Structure 1
Amino acid sequence: MSTIPLSDHPLHRSLDTAIPAIQAAARLSRLVLQQNDKGTISKEDHSPVTVADFAIQALLTASIHAIFPSDKFVGEESANALRTNPRLIERVWGLLQVVGKDGGNIVVPESQEHMCELIDWCGKGAPDDMDRTWILDPIDGTKTFVRGEMYAINMALLENGVPVLSVVALPLLSIDAQTPVNNDTRDPKGEDGGCILFAINGHGTFVRPLSNKNIQPRRIPRHCDAITSLSDLKSVTCVSDLDSGIDSIHTMVAQQLGIQNFPGCDLLGWVPRWAALALGLGNTTVWVYKDRGRKAKIWDHAGAVLLFEETGGKVTDVDGRELDWAAGRKLSGNYGFVAAPKAVHGNVLQVVWEVLRREGKGGFLGEIDQKVDV
């Protein structure tokens, strides 16, 4: 692992741009949390989106573009719904004006049309293996956010198709959180609480308070390096709150691995799950999609996976393949996830295969062309 001081690292300027931007995004999200009406609408895929999603995506894009005008962007939302909803666009614009008064390094769009244009840079963007590309998820866990529960704001920087920087804000998670954390976990410090995790490829994962206080970030130990036995595995997953995975398979894998207190940390959002793994609140997650045609969305994982990897974790898909971050807006070349400490990742993967084979769920390794029987 590199011992270069953060202030001397080539990505220092990118990190210094991302942190105040994500702090402002967190403040904006809290403004929306205080409102009964969060401006929630349903997208074409029936997933929810709020005024916070639109405003944060515009805020992060504007702030980064002001410093790095050649960088590209990929994000979850497009501005289609805003352009046809005058009331919604006014609410989003109003939130940006409030946060923009904070000044500092924060940049807000110049007009409502500029705001929509910035959002569409993300909503129509796709990563490749050539350019610096920022991957943004303005609210990861929108369903829980609407309920006032755990959510995250995700920023990741890819260079040559590889995540090199991750910055994640968790406004409801304490910097000193203890396992297990769940969707309804709340930092007792309230608006003075929350944390930011960030990781630099080859340089480690760090955690710091979400607030603007000038506190040195704390390097998270490479806790996964100490795990050499399956008996030390602790789970992070989502149970019964998502219909994309096979809960019974996840439970059987945990039982065969001997994981105690399954499910452990039970979190709907993927970014909070990766953060919990990085913080050592767990060290293992397995996700088998019901359908091999189901593909993960890049903004739910890019960068956030790096948080765990920089603490000694290894992440592949269910087939044992490395994750292809340059495949597009979805991880089209990968199926599901298997994450565990490096020393035992192969053992965990083998158990996953054994359970899938025993339960008649084909479509992995030599059976890739078979249809998954669900």
Structure 2
Amino acid sequence: MQLSSLAGGGEPNCAARAYRPRRSSPETCRPILRPFPRRRPSSAAASAAGASLAPPPPVAERRDLSRELDVAVRAVHMACSLCQVIQQSLLRRGAAHVAAKPDDSPVTVADWGVQAAVSWVLAENFPGERLSITAEEDAAALASPANAAVLDAIVAAVNGSLSAAAGHGLAAPPRGGLRRGDVLEAIARCSAPAAEGGRRWVLDPVDGTLGFVRGDQYAVALALIDGGEAALGVLGCPNYPLRSQWLRHHHRFFRAAARLAPAPPPGSWHSGCVMYALRGGGGAWMQPVGGGAARPVRVSSVDEPAAATFCEPVETANSSHSFSAGLAHHVGLRSRPLRLYSMVKYAAIARGDAEVFMKFARSGYREKVWDHAAGAVIVEEAGGVVTDAGGRRLDFSGGLFLRGLDRGIVACSGGALHRKIIGAVDASWGSSEL
């Protein structure tokens, strides 16, 4: 794996201010976190719990996963802060440790660092369980002496992130932090063969790495798969703007405007957001990166195609813009597509900033579970619909890949739009070259 610079030139040195986690009292440094309270906690109780997390609605009777959700939300907040620091470094220096995978897609210190940090947090908080984690990155290349500098950068990033663990209500690492072997072990823990069915965590440490190195949108995605379905999902979107109109611009323009504007007040959602949901919990929630007051999110009420906004991937390597464009015209979608990196597309549907997300893969490409699990459950709990192009719910029981996927993925804000899209797929598929 040869290192190269994919950060690109010409980016203004105007990254958002680095996140500084709040200080916590020693009482918050507990290896076992309290689950979400059933009622909204007082400000004192929220402070004692570390980052201020909003309580979800009552959990489905089949299983109480409130503690798993609590740990996952805190871990993603911490991971987002790690990514913000590294992305700012990429933008300032114009070059950093960025490698190319065998498929030529980029991987960064942030990808490996987030995977190691989240893996370590899950292992520390669920020590008595047979922990199963499926994630995107592989530690094999990092063990090579030729990549010692990259590994050292990852270790430094992980320890920098975990040093703020107490501020997120998480257990702190041992004195002196993690060493090379600890970090490699944490990354490798996520590389075990993905068992079909059963219960496992699914992590995409930096979804949309190309957007990340270009200073644009990306996401940290963590989900728990139980019995083939996404039981909970957490989606960290550090560059997601408060105003939906900013989504149509490269994030560098938002950063430049932010530098000219007065400093935002606390809780203004200036620094991105974390969305989360528990299946059967009755809703999805959003709060600013780093913690703070949360609010429910709900899909848009738009059900007429002419008024709807649809999302699609930025890159065309694994999806067809031409088929999506033809399908949009057939259905009556008139707005130009909102092209976004990563699972931010799911966040846009859940928050009501868009109504349709369509992805139809090119022949031979298989959709991976970590690219959809967290986003799908959040959209569904926010009131939306997510299926394959045949109208069937996504099946996450097949190891690394979605099982039995019919042609593509369609996520909509409501049933009426969804039925129109599915009908148009059936009518148009015969002429498709996919």
Alpha-carbon distance in structure 2 between the residues aligned to 1:73 and 1:281: 31
Q: In the TM superposition, what is the alpha-carbon distance from 1:48 to its structure 2 partner?
A: 0.8
Contact residue 316 and residue 323 of structure 1 kept, 8 A: yes
In the TM superposition, 1:247-266 aligns within 5 A as: 247-263=321-337, 265-266=338-339
Q: Deviation digits for residues 61-114 of structure 1, max 9, x if unmatched?
A: 111111113231010001012111111111101111222222411555743112
Q: Does 1:238 align with 2:304?
A: no
Report the alpha carbon displacement of residue 180 of structure 1 after superposing the two structures with TM.
Answer: 6.1
Within-5 A mapping of 1:221-300: 221-223=298-300, 226-239=301-314, 241-263=315-337, 265-269=338-342, 271-291=343-363, 293-300=364-371
**CA–CA separation in structure 1 for the residues paired with 2:249 and 2:116:** 26
Task: Return the alpha-carbon distance in structure 1 between the equivalents of residues 163 and 270 of structure 2.
Answer: 20
Aligned counterpart in structure 2 of residue 343 of structure 1, from 416, 422, 427: 416
Shift of 1:192: 5.4
Number of residue pairs matched?
Answer: 348
1:59 counterpart SS class: helix
TM-score, normalization by structure 2: 0.75
Tell whether the 8 Å contact from 1:54 to 1:77 is kept in structure 2 after alignment.
Answer: yes
Task: Determine the C-alpha separation between the residues in 1 that align with 2:404 and 2:298.
Answer: 31
Q: Which has the higher contact order (CA 8 A, sep 6+)?
A: 2
Equivalent in 77, 102, 111 of residue 53 of structure 1: 111
Shift of the alpha carbon at 1:28? Answer: 1.0
- Alignment CA distance shift 1:140-1:106 (3 Å): farther
Distance 2:77 2:88 in 1: 17
Q: Match for 1:166 among 225, 230, 233? A: 233
In structure 1, what is the equivalent of residue 139 of structure 2? Answer: 79
Deviations 1:309-352 (A, max 9, x none): 11222122123332110111111421321222223322211111
Report the counterpart of residue 330 of structure 1 in structure 2.
401
TM-score (norm 1): 0.86
The answer to whether the 8 Å contact 1:155/1:166 transfers is yes
Task: Provide the C-alpha distance between the structure 2 equivalents of 1:58 and 1:142, rounded to a whole number of angstroms.
Answer: 16
Matched residue SS, 2:250: coil
Q: Is the Cα contact below 8 Å between 1:164 and 1:200 reproduced in 2?
A: yes
Deviations 1:268-304 (A, max 9, x none): 21x111111111111112222221x311111111121
Structure 1 runs not aligned, ≥5 long? 362-372
* Larger deviation, residues 54-63 vs 252-261: 252-261
Q: Which runs of 5+ in 2 are unaligned?
A: 1-37, 40-54
CA–CA distance in structure 2, aligned partners of residues 288 and 126 of structure 1: 25
Q: Which amino acid is 2:278 matched to? A: I
- How much has 1:222 moved relative to structure 2? 4.7
Contact persistence 2:155–2:178 (CA under 8 A): no
| Paired amino acid for 1:275 | A
Shift of 1:118: 1.6
1:196 aligned to 270, 274, 281, which one? 274
**One-letter amino acid of the counterpart of residue 258, structure 1:** G
User: What residue is the counterpart of 1:205 in the other structure?
Assistant: 284
Q: For 2:161 and 2:213, how far apart are their aligned partners in 1?
A: 20
Q: Amino acid of the residue matched to residue 76 of structure 1? A: E
| 8 A contact 1:63–1:107 mirrored in 2 | no
In the alignment, which residue of structure 2 is the partner of 1:365? none
Q: Percent identity?
A: 27
CA 1:118 to 1:107, structure 2 compared with 1: closer, same or farther past 3 Å?
farther
Residue 311 of structure 1 corresponds to: 382
Distance 1:107 1:58 in 2: 14
| Aligned mates of 2:367, 2:352 — CA distance in 1 | 24
Cα RMSD, aligned residues only: 2.2
Which residue type is aligned with residue 326 of structure 2? M
User: What is the SS of the residue equivalent to 1:319?
Assistant: coil
Matched-pair contact (CA < 8 Å) for 2:138–2:188: yes
Q: Secondary structure at the match of 2:75?
A: helix
- Following superposition, the deviation at residue 166 of structure 1 comes to 0.8
Structure 2 residue aligned with 1:95 = 157
Moved more, 328-337 or 140-149: 328-337
